A and B are shown apart, each in its own frame.
Chain A
Amino acid sequence: NAGVTQTPKFQVLKTGQSMTLQCAQDMNHNSMYWYRQDPGMGLRLIYYSASEGTTDKGEVPNGYNVSRLNKREFSLRLESAAPSQTSVYFCASSEIGQGAETQYFGPGTRLLVL
C-alpha cells in the first residue's frame, strides 16, 4: 500500500515549456487535490476533484489544467510554464469517516522554472 505517489520528484523547466505532474493513490479515495507551496508559505489549493469525472478550481487555478483520468489518478498540467510557478506541488486524496475528512498527502514535486 503506497498511499499517494507523485512523479517526478524534481523538474527543471525553461519558461514556456509544458509538463504534466502525475499523481496516483491506491486507497480507493473519491476526492483528490493539487496544492502548491511557495517558500515560507502554507499550502494553497490549485484544483480538486470530488469524484471521478469532476474537477473544480481552487484558490490559484490560473496557468494550470487538471485531468481526473480515473479514480486512482489525478494529473496537473502546466501548458506554458512561468517563473512564478516555481514551487513545490503536493497531491492529496481524502477519505470521510467518523464525521471528518482526512487528507493524505504525497511526497511532493519540486519544480523550478527558469
Chain B
Amino acid sequence: DAKTTQPPSMDCAEGRAANLPCNHSTISGNEYVYWYRQIHSQGPQYIIHGLKNNETNEMASLIITEDRKSSTLILPHATLRDTAVYYCIVRVDGGATNKLIFGTGTLLAVQP
C-alpha cells in the first residue's frame, strides 16, 4: 500500500471551509484513497473514499488530482465538533489483506 504524507496540524475558523491536503505520490492505479477521522478518545470514523473521480457525501467532499498523486478533503462548513485527527489512507481493495495503515494524520483545530 502506498504511503501518505499529511501536515501534522491545521487551524480553521468555525463556519469556514476546512481543506485538508494529502500527498500519495506512489499511489498505484488500483489503490483507493480513504479518509477517516478520530475525535479525541473515540474510535476512528469513516468519512469518504474515492478512486479517480471527485466524491461528495453528507460529511465532506474529496478532490483527487488528475495524476492521483494528491488529494484534498473538504469540510464545507467546519464546526467545533469537527476538531479531530484526520487520516488519509490509500489501499487496494480486494487485496490479500484488508488492513488499514494509519499514519499520524492531521490534527484539525476548529476555532470559534
Contact = CB atoms under 8 A, between A and B. Distances in A.
B1 to A, nearest CB: 12
Given A100-B32, A100-B93, A42 B98 contact: no
A108 B87 contact: no
Contacts, number: 57
Given A48-B97, A50-B98, A100-B34, A108 B43 contact: yes
Interface in B29-70: 32, 34, 36, 41-46, 49, 51
B17 to A, nearest CB: 24
B64 to A, nearest CB: 14
User: B-side binding surface: helix, strand, loop or mixed?
Assistant: loop
Contact of A102 (B46, B102, B103): B46
Contacts of A50: 98
Interface string A76-114: 000000000000001010101001111111111000000
Given A56-B97, A108-B42, A108-B43, A43 B104 contact: no
Contact of B104 (A40, A59, A106): A40
Interface residues on B, range: 20 to 34
A107 B43 contact: yes
Interface of A: 4, 31, 33, 35, 40-45, 48, 50, 56, 58-59, 90, 92, 94, 96, 99-108
6 nearest interchain CB pairs? A105-B43, A42-B102, A43-B102, A45-B99, A100-B49, A102-B46
Interface of B: 32, 34, 36, 41-46, 49, 51, 87, 93, 97-105
